[in-house]
Amino acid sequence: MTEHDYTKAKGDGTLDGKTILVTGAGDGIGRAVAIEYAHQGATVILLGRTKRNLEGVYDEITDYGYAEPAILVVDLADPASDAFKTIGAAISGEFTQLNGIVHNAAELGMLTPLENYEGALWDQVFQVNVKSPLLVTQQCLPLLKEAPYASIIFTTDESGVKPKGYWGAYGVSKAAILHMARMWAIEYANTHIRVNIVDPGPCRTGLRLLTHPGMPMKRYTPPEAITSIYTQLMDCDVLGHNGELFYAQNFINPDLDDRTEKDLATSTV
């Protein structure tokens, strides 16, 4: 996995003073977005199920000299756990408002025909990919309402935008999250809260390695290169967007894209 060599200097301060929750922040796109938010001046709340991974991201952020992040170790697959039920309370105990949420955590399940899909695994995928973003958003709404404006970003996938065979619960859940996000956007259209959706596209992540085993990961976009759309959707300009779907591959930062011409010439989804 590529790791961008951030400098000690902050970015342009686009997100100065903002507090943003990122789920699935321990690796992949969540890690990259969290570090970029910190780079732009935000205080980031890192939520994930693996403490060691979150601590690694925490160390990266503080080593760069950015604002100290907070860590929430939560298994989103277990809604009965105390940690899950108290996410909102834990955040309100440290912060007076929340400027945004990035719902990035995801459960793949398995790639198999629908006729073979196990019900228990289907439920687990929907718990992480659909139900947990709903419940986390509900818990955080009081804090989001305290901010001058707030942004919620839901994450879909190409298999949720356009049906693809064998993607099972993952594909269906990503279609559901696209629909649910737009429902949130309609219901909060007359408030200062904006809700949008990002399809990251094929990126160099652990999930991509699972879905495309044997493919050279260097073919895919490094997560750091697609973070600009996530930053734009946390800036005040987001007030002009609501219920929209953004394809992160249309916002690639060439300075952070380490793929060579040979990689791009042989690129595949």
pLDDT per residue rounded down to tens, the chain (269 residues) = 344 454 445 677 899 999 999 999 999 999 999 999 999 999 999 999 999 999 999 999 999 999 999 999 999 999 999 999 999 999 999 999 999 999 999 999 999 999 999 999 999 999 999 999 999 999 999 999 999 999 999 999 999 999 999 999 999 999 999 999 999 999 999 999 999 999 999 988 767 767 777 777 788 899 999 999 999 999 999 999 999 999 999 999 999 999 887 877 765 55
Q: What is the pLDDT of residue 2?
A: 40
With respect to residue 249, please indicate whether it lies within any of the assigned structural domains: yes
Taking only the tens place, the pLDDT of each residue in 153-171 is 999 999 999 999 999 999 9
**Domain ranges, residue 32:** 19-265
Instruction: Note the pLDDT of residue 181.
Output: 98
Q: Is residue 14 part of a domain?
A: no
Instruction: Answer yes or no: is 9 within a domain.
Output: no
Domain membership of residue 256 (yes or no) is yes
Residue 167 within a domain? yes
Give the Cα separation of 200 and 223 in Å (integer).
9
For the chain, the domain total comes to 1
- Name the residue among 98, 188, 190 with its Cα closest to residue 146: 98
Catalytic residues: 170
181 touches 160 (CB < 8 A): no
**CATH number of the domain residue 39 falls in:** 3.40.50.720
Q: Which residues pair with 20 in a beta bridge?
A: 44, 100
Which pLDDT belongs to residue 153? 98
Q: Dump pLDDT digits (tens) for 115-165.
A: 999 999 999 999 999 999 999 999 999 999 999 999 999 999 999 999 999
Cβ-Cβ contacts under 8 Å for 49 (sequence gap 6 or more) = 26, 73, 74, 75, 76, 77
In a domain, 135, yes or no: yes
In a domain, 4, yes or no: no
- 10 is a domain residue: no
